[in-house]
Structure 1
Amino acid sequence: MTRDEAATRLELIDVALAANGWSDSQIDREYRYRAGRVFFLGDEVHREVPQSADYVLRERANGVALAVLEAKDESHSPGAGLQQAHAYAEDLGAPLAIASNGHAYVVQSLQSGEIIQIDAPPGPTGLLDIIHGRFRAPAPNPLLAPTLSDRPLRYYQERAVHIAVDAIMAGRKRLLLNLATGTGKTVVSGNIVWKLWRTGVVRKVLFLVDRVSLLGQAYNSFSAFGDARGVVGEDKDLPLLRDVHFATYQGLYSERGGGRLFEQYPPDYFDCVVIDECHRSGYGDWKAILDHFGNAVHVGLTATPKRADTIDTYAYFGAELLDDGGHGQADYEYSLARGIEDGFLATYQVLQVSTNLDERGLHIAREVEFGAELFTPEDVEIRDVYTSEQFEREISVPDRTRVLCEHLANKIREWGTAEKTIVFCVSAAHADTVRTHMQNLLGVEEGLPRYAVRIVSEERDSATLLEEFRDPRGRQPVLATTVDLLSTGVDIPSLRNVVFMKPVSSPIVFKQILGRGTRLDPSTGKLFFRVVDYTNATRLLDAWDLPSAPDEEWVTGAQTVLVSVRNVDGEPILGARVAATLGRRHIARGITDQYGQCEISGLPVGSLTVRASASGRRPGRVRVNVPQDDEIEVVLEESGVGPGRMVISGVEVTLAAEITLNLTSDGRELSVEQYVDLAGERIRDAVQGSPATLRELWRDPSTRNRLRQSLREHSVDTELLGLVLERPDVDDADLLTYAGWREPLRTREERARRVELRSDSVLPGLSDPEQKVLRGLLDQYRVAGLNELDSAAVFRTPALRSIGGLDAIVSMLGGPTRAREILVLARNEIYRNGGVA
């Protein structure tokens, strides 16, 4: 009898590994490669089946990965799992991929690409030689040093650590690691430093952060270093007896003894400097700190992808790793999109909301004519029209704030008033107004006097409020309003709602705010979060955030428009950002050249909006009719800061639009019809035959279970199909044949009844006790489906206990062999002739 995969692994591969020198501590079985992506289907949240590698062979427990081995059952060829093993090994950084059916082993080197077949798995000694051969330096191999803790690293963390250590051992001085918020940048950097420090490659290390809250977080993450750690304080002596120093930019740049604190260190004091949130480090005064320690290895950590506003970061930290265009690039990247696909980060739902004022602008003269009251401070020049970007900056619109808060409160009531929410506001005053509204709307209802709080730097007890807000077990506060205090460096895993009530133009700021919600939280069961967007901030979503660009969200065409951006004197503006939009959907972007011009292409025919913005200037926008308008001009005025904000009240504010977007693995909102169609494709691929082929596979428990597992790995689940089709009464096989071939849906009742009606071909050949048992089996099938008929346990179910239960039925049928035969008969008859005759 052919062994299945489980038996092949247990009886053949495990035995061969042990015989060739692998101890149990070196074998990582069922290595959790992906956690299972969370996705929306309608209003339901589902999680895919986790994906695991059969074996990861390591130098030691939690040590460096030497090979990935994928097993298949005896019926497969030895190399059937090689491509899968290769993909895992590549992501993990293992030098070898191995596939086996238990009788032979197909091995591929990821370095040379060579594939060989051998009779037994390679032993650890030969694989260690490959690792040792990576380095030219005679130093102890840092890759073989243990990890920072007993907690295993995720595959991408392990890969990032190995890439960084490889680069440093090869003599590199500047490195950049780009990992999305919530993926463990501190864990990665801690393991890099730990491996280098333990093997003597580096001795003195500086860890730089830009927030005091991050300082303690980093210090605690490096707990394995024990007393080798020291914190650099403005009012403390330098911890020169310690090896790993933790400091903030601000603290090191503070004055000390007629100079700056960092100047108290000799320039060659540190061997390695780790820079957290490094996209902030290369600007202004703080770069002097990096220049002072310029001979050290600099490892930059960021959660921001390469774009126009991070180009200096990539030029500095990526200077020794250039792309084909000669530009600096990251040594390793792991995006938010990849984190969502892998199931390590929470997916998110976007709710885009706009008011009539956001859609058409606030026309002052018209509103005053209709009775609005306008307060204007001295020396403030009144505009004719104000747009979303000016609300709560130049002009306060209390009616709009009230309407947005009422809308948000209604949504929170719908979702759950205990869900943690952060509202990002324009200013401290705006945050105070929003806090007051939300407390009155929800706090009073919930009986919680501190349901809503403002957490801004002006608040004396902001640190205490923040800690209370972070606590998932605390009843209050539940909702926090802020400006930017919570945008970076704060872990709030239980956060469910991220709300934009302030416009955001910087992709860096947007991604940092978005990152507040991306952490999963097992303690509260959090698998996803919501982005409530009142200011069109989600226009900044891109491929870094979305697994792929959704077809519905990006409108394309063949038209081109030349855009000129000028100031009020007609002079060109260099570096202005230009975007063409259709409603709230972006179509094309560009940046103006020295002549103030840029060409945006791929536009559809119709009426579009072209927006332009530049530093120090008010944004501008122009309506364009394509293709009639092939050249347009946008004029940007200087922003000019006045002595105070205008206030207008008595304005009619209404909700103009509300759109919900659910992100899936391909970045699209997935309807029920789309899910069924996608499931159908995957069912046909898995079955490689007709509906009759599927039913034949479904009869036998072993082939059914293999097919079911294969489908689940591709997000196809019969229970889910029954749920979305609202047909829980339909047989599982019929759900699959409907999705795959649009065959009719048949209920379990219908199939069972047809078996009973085929009395001429079924029942006459059975004794009375056998007929009674068959009818009992059909009754249980009606209730719970075919899986119930897979084992003798079915005879203990209520439908069969009335006949006497397991022992009585086996005795009645003349023994266990006949009982098994009746079970097989029931399964076969349910699907005979497709169950239609």
Structure 2
Amino acid sequence: MDKRKLSETDIISKFILPAVKTAGWDDITQIRQEVKLRDGKVIVRGQLGVRKTVKSADIVLYHKPSMPLAVIEAKANKHEVGKGLQQGLDYARLLDVPFIFASNGDGFIFHDKTKLGTPDAHNLETEIRLEDFPSPQELWAKYCAYKGYTESQLPIINQAYYDDGSGKHPRYYQLQAINKTVEAISSGKDRVLLVMATGTGKTYTAFQIIWRLWKSRAKKRILFLADRNILVDQTRINDFQPFGTSMTKITGRTIDPAYEIHLALYQALTGPEESQKAFKQVDPDFFDLIIIDECHRGSASEDSAWREILTYFKGAAQVGLTATPKETDEVSNSDYFGDPAYTYSLKEGIEDGFLAPYKVVRVDLDVDLQGWRPTKGQVDNNGEVIQDRIYNQKDFDRTMVIDERTQLVAETITNYLKRTDPMAKTIVFCNDIDHAERMRRAIANLNPEQMAKNDKYVMKITGDDELGKGQLDNFINPKRPYPVIATTSELMTTGVDAKTCKLVVLDQNIQSMTKFKQIIGRGTRIDDRYGKLWFTILDFKKATELFADERFDGTPEKIIKVTPTDIEDEDVDLESQDDTTSAETPDNVFGDQTTDDTTDANNDTINDPKGDGTLDGEWDDETNKMVKYRVSGVTVNKVAERVQYYDTDGKLVTESFIDYTRKTMSKQFSSLDDFVKRWNESDRKQAIIDELSEEGIIWSALEEEVGKDMDPFDMICHVVYDQPPLTRKERADNVQKRNYFTKYSGTAHTVLENLLLKYADVGVQEIESMQALKVAPFNEIGSLSEIVKKGFGGKPQYEQALKELEAEIYQMPAPKTA
């Protein structure tokens, strides 16, 4: 057996796996092959999106299913033994493991991170024989020493995560978050912060953390805290369902000690009155572990009523979950929890293909850019004299309503959906409830055909509207087509798991980075089953300028250390106060908190400049009341509409797909000659086409921009290297003009001429397959075997003739002489 001729798969099965199993690794519980760690980033241009193909780790070795230990990366024997090491190091980084092996079947290169910082660091990478592969016991002992585990930690560390047998496992970043949290708590740490982007499975991660700590009996009574009823109910019904009869939701202000897993709203446990502080029914040591969902909201503030619960149970280990850690002059998550134990950002999620990338359509309106001023003594639609000043973008739909502006925004939304997909789930974020209602009406009037099919095509889903709130579950359910468009103000900013939302419209003034990230999170979920791979942000208020802020996808820098004496009348984040359920929310639950905004009885935050709970508008000192002007008859026009895309560095770029292709190709090929050489040397052109597709070059998108008569070779030559745009027909004609077929006769001549015609019609991919000879017009010449054997003398000769034909097709034109 010539080892150098074996494939990578053969090297794994014949040499690497036998060596690993001989060392004592169990084939069923400790060895996993082809471990896919990423899903593949989605590249978006125009209305098309495609996933980049990602490679899998060849072999991952585990101590337990929850504890990966080592990565083995294999290569064919024609490569050097350590060829796969850098690839293995990348996988090891994702899995957070210190042991990496590379092999070509002759032996292993062993990269041992546990040696770093020791006197043996100069032997970081060593070559070992196949028969010297380390045993599970050896690597586990080294790993424990590396991590510094104590004997008391091991029973907790060794507890496996929950596995329902469906094949669902925690993703690599979820496993890192779970393991780092379990490690921290098992070592005695009592505050842990996890920062994970919206849509990355924080609740599932929390469930697995609780499961391991609960099953190992390290923590026996657990409290899961949230500030929105929908978050508690979704958690109980979905991710936490395996807890079964051990779990309860706290209602009626009673904590039942018969249960071990307790889910609760802050509002059900506390209130401004002592009689409302239900958490004091039990001793401070009642709970061993508290998980705080969306901890950037109410509990982030030192003097909030909600923080009182955490302080009361200060002896419990407390884990904070958030996508947007709070770091302001008044509020600090890291001051309470410490620095994040693990962070998984939106950028990482998009790069890995677990989160949807976005394109931004920025729409500038002339009235927003230039402002609007009333004429002297002008009255609004209600007969009120309008205060004389210039009203600008921040005023519109708060203190000043211009009907034509509302109409133009609604028309832009409608036209975008008609151009793309009228049934694409859409959330329109408005400034307040009144704005949301006017926007709903304008969109409804612009879509009579859709409203005739179903009058729930567009609905206002805000806290004051019971009918609208009742449709929220239908909106987020991918199986329910209606409602399609939801207009809202605050109710849907967080906690709404709208997996198939394809359009997020921003017609709201947004200054808070936290709020902006939460709103963007409404679109970042991917749902392959329903074709949701990316989403569009339609921005009318310049909110997407926040993408350029380094805080958008970075770790917030700790600003202050907050102590109780520092705080007097501290403000609470307005987002701590949305969407509570009135039935379970005591009156005046926020009575001890001063805020710049207020929350109406039905959970939508509204602007409150005077601090007295009045609606959006302009305060008139003379009449001592709030005024919101509304005018009609103003000419409003679109000045510009710019499309930007998410780029590889996480920034927005304005580029066509042609620009993207040029940039991508420059990384793959240094020059036109380099590309042509690679193309001509390739036995199958389809291999190069597939390779470029994996890098995100969407051929159908190029066809739309460049033309559909060129094959991939000429599209690249033209788009990237400025060559003349030759069509397939022109290339075929050039071959005919050179009398290439005169060297053949009979069946071979006929077959090759027809292959050339087929190339001109459909492209090179179709003629490379032997299956092409089974259909017309070739099946009229003879069967596949007859054509190959009688016409060409055998398969090798046929393949050689096809290769020569392709060389003729792709012959580059001679450079023009002056």
- TM-score tier, shorter chain, comes to 0.7 to 0.9
Do structure 1's residue 389 and structure 2's residue 389 form an aligned pair? no
Deviates more, 1:276-285 or 1:780-789: 780-789
Higher-RCO chain (CA-CA 8 Å, sequence separation at least 6): 2
Q: Which residue of 2 aligns with 1:551?
A: none
Q: What is the CA-CA distance between 1:146 and the residue it aligns to?
A: 2.2
Deviations 1:309-343 (A, max 9, x none): 6851121111xxxxxxxxxx322111112211211
Which of 104, 125, 128 is the equivalent residue of 1:101?
104
Q: Which residue of 1 aligns with 2:799?
A: 823
Partners in 2 of 1:300 and 1:435 — Cα distance? 37
Q: Which residue of 2 aligns with 1:661?
A: 644
1:344 partner letter: F
Partners in 2 of 1:648 and 1:719 — Cα distance? 47
Partners in 2 of 1:429 and 1:692 — Cα distance? 61
SS in 1 for 2:471: helix
Q: Which residue of 2 aligns with 1:647?
A: 629
Partners in 2 of 1:181 and 1:393 — Cα distance? 29
Partners in 2 of 1:650 and 1:740 — Cα distance? 51
SS in 2 for 1:526: coil
Do structure 1's residue 26 and structure 2's residue 30 form an aligned pair? yes
Aligned partners of 1:35 and 1:343 also within 8 Å: yes
Q: What is the CA-CA distance between 1:214 and the residue it aligns to?
A: 0.5
Partners in 1 of 2:549 and 2:797 — Cα distance? 56
2:183 partner letter: D
Q: What is the CA-CA distance between 1:238 and the residue it aligns to?
A: 1.4
Partners in 2 of 1:755 and 1:688 — Cα distance? 22
Q: How does 1:435-584 map to 2 (within 5 A)?
A: 435-443=440-448, 445-447=450-452, 448-542=454-548
Which of 145, 157, 166 is the equivalent residue of 2:159?
145
Q: What is the CA-CA distance between 1:25 and the residue it aligns to?
A: 4.5
C-alpha distance 343-372 of structure 1, shift in aligned 2 (>3 A): same
Aligned partners of 1:132 and 1:141 also within 8 Å: no
Q: What is the CA-CA distance between 1:789 and the residue it aligns to?
A: 5.1
Which of 357, 375, 384 is the equivalent residue of 1:376?
384
SS in 1 for 2:677: helix
Partners in 2 of 1:650 and 1:751 — Cα distance? 61
Q: Which residue of 2 aligns with 1:403?
A: 408
Partners in 2 of 1:46 and 1:310 — Cα distance? 43
C-alpha distance 375-399 of structure 1, shift in aligned 2 (>3 A): farther
Q: How does 1:609-620 map to 2 (within 5 A)?
A: none
Aligned partners of 2:444 and 2:451 also within 8 Å: no
Deviations 1:659-692 (A, max 9, x none): 222223233233234223213313316x997345
Q: What is the CA-CA distance between 1:491 and the residue it aligns to?
A: 0.8
1:303 partner letter: A
Deviations 1:201-250 (A, max 9, x none): 22221111010111112223122222221211134x31212221111111
Aligned partners of 2:686 and 2:765 also within 8 Å: no
C-alpha distance 395-776 of structure 1, shift in aligned 2 (>3 A): closer
C-alpha distance 404-753 of structure 1, shift in aligned 2 (>3 A): closer
Q: Which residue of 2 aligns with 1:353?
A: 363
Q: What is the CA-CA distance between 1:116 and the residue it aligns to?
A: 1.7
Partners in 2 of 1:215 and 1:676 — Cα distance? 45
Partners in 1 of 2:786 and 2:134 — Cα distance? 54
Partners in 2 of 1:347 and 1:143 — Cα distance? 36
Q: What is the CA-CA distance between 1:39 and the residue it aligns to?
A: 2.3
Q: How does 1:791-802 map to 2 (within 5 A)?
A: 792-802=770-780
Q: Which residue of 2 aligns with 1:697?
A: 681
2:62 partner letter: R
Partners in 1 of 2:674 and 2:199 — Cα distance? 45
Q: How does 1:48-127 map to 2 (within 5 A)?
A: 48-60=52-64, 62-113=65-116, 114-120=124-130, 121-127=133-139
C-alpha distance 105-208 of structure 1, shift in aligned 2 (>3 A): same
Deviates more, 1:275-284 or 1:672-681: 672-681
C-alpha distance 300-257 of structure 1, shift in aligned 2 (>3 A): closer
C-alpha distance 786-6 of structure 1, shift in aligned 2 (>3 A): farther
Which of 730, 750, 756 is the equivalent residue of 1:772?
750
1:677 partner letter: R
SS in 2 for 1:304: coil
Which of 321, 325, 330 is the equivalent residue of 1:301?
321
Q: What is the CA-CA distance between 1:834 and the residue it aligns to?
A: 6.1
Structure with the larger strand share: 1
1:278 partner letter: C
Aligned partners of 1:443 and 1:452 also within 8 Å: no
1:506 partner letter: S
Q: Which residue of 1 aligns with 2:208?
A: 191
Partners in 1 of 2:18 and 2:715 — Cα distance? 41
Deviates more, 1:205-214 or 1:734-743: 734-743
Q: What is the CA-CA distance between 1:374 and the residue it aligns to?
A: 6.2
Partners in 1 of 2:364 and 2:201 — Cα distance? 35
Deviations 1:235-274 (A, max 9, x none): 4x31212221111111111479836111112111212111
Partners in 1 of 2:444 and 2:698 — Cα distance? 43
Q: Which residue of 2 aligns with 1:629?
A: none
Calculate the aligned-residue CA RMSD, in Å. 3.4
Deviations 1:479-527 (A, max 9, x none): 2222211111111112122222221221111111111111112342111
Q: Which runs of 5+ in 2 are unaligned?
A: 117-123, 555-570, 572-606, 612-617, 814-818
Do structure 1's residue 45 and structure 2's residue 26 form an aligned pair? no
Partners in 1 of 2:125 and 2:170 — Cα distance? 29
Deviates more, 1:786-795 or 1:412-421: 786-795
SS in 1 for 2:291: strand
Aligned residues: 730
Partners in 2 of 1:822 and 1:460 — Cα distance? 72
C-alpha distance 524-146 of structure 1, shift in aligned 2 (>3 A): same
C-alpha distance 773-310 of structure 1, shift in aligned 2 (>3 A): farther
Q: What is the CA-CA distance between 1:399 and the residue it aligns to?
A: 3.7
Q: Which residue of 2 aligns with 1:431?
A: 436
Aligned partners of 2:499 and 2:523 also within 8 Å: yes
Q: Which residue of 2 aligns with 1:332?
A: 342
Partners in 1 of 2:710 and 2:355 — Cα distance? 35
Q: What is the CA-CA distance between 1:542 and the residue it aligns to?
A: 4.1
SS in 2 for 1:90: helix
SS in 1 for 2:707: coil
Q: How does 1:240-259 map to 2 (within 5 A)?
A: 240-254=257-271, 258=275
Q: What is the CA-CA distance between 1:142 and the residue it aligns to?
A: 3.1
Q: What is the CA-CA distance between 1:807 and the residue it aligns to?
A: 2.9
1:36 partner letter: G
SS in 1 for 2:455: coil
Do structure 1's residue 729 and structure 2's residue 710 form an aligned pair? yes
Aligned partners of 2:644 and 2:655 also within 8 Å: no
C-alpha distance 357-298 of structure 1, shift in aligned 2 (>3 A): same
Deviates more, 1:644-653 or 1:245-254: 644-653
Q: Which residue of 2 aligns with 1:2?
A: 5
1:663 partner letter: Y
Aligned partners of 1:48 and 1:713 also within 8 Å: yes
Q: What is the CA-CA distance between 1:758 and the residue it aligns to?
A: 5.3
Q: What is the CA-CA distance between 1:733 and the residue it aligns to?
A: 4.2
Aligned partners of 1:85 and 1:97 also within 8 Å: yes
C-alpha distance 474-296 of structure 1, shift in aligned 2 (>3 A): same
Q: How does 1:582-661 map to 2 (within 5 A)?
A: 643-657=625-639, 658-661=641-644
2:681 partner letter: L
Q: What is the CA-CA distance between 1:728 and the residue it aligns to?
A: 4.1
Do structure 1's residue 277 and structure 2's residue 288 form an aligned pair? no
Q: Which residue of 1 aligns with 2:596?
A: none
Which of 15, 24, 33 is the equivalent residue of 1:12?
15
Do structure 1's residue 807 and structure 2's residue 812 form an aligned pair? no
Partners in 2 of 1:247 and 1:678 — Cα distance? 51
Q: Which residue of 2 aligns with 1:292?
A: 312
Which of 417, 421, 434 is the equivalent residue of 2:426?
421
Aligned partners of 1:354 and 1:534 also within 8 Å: yes
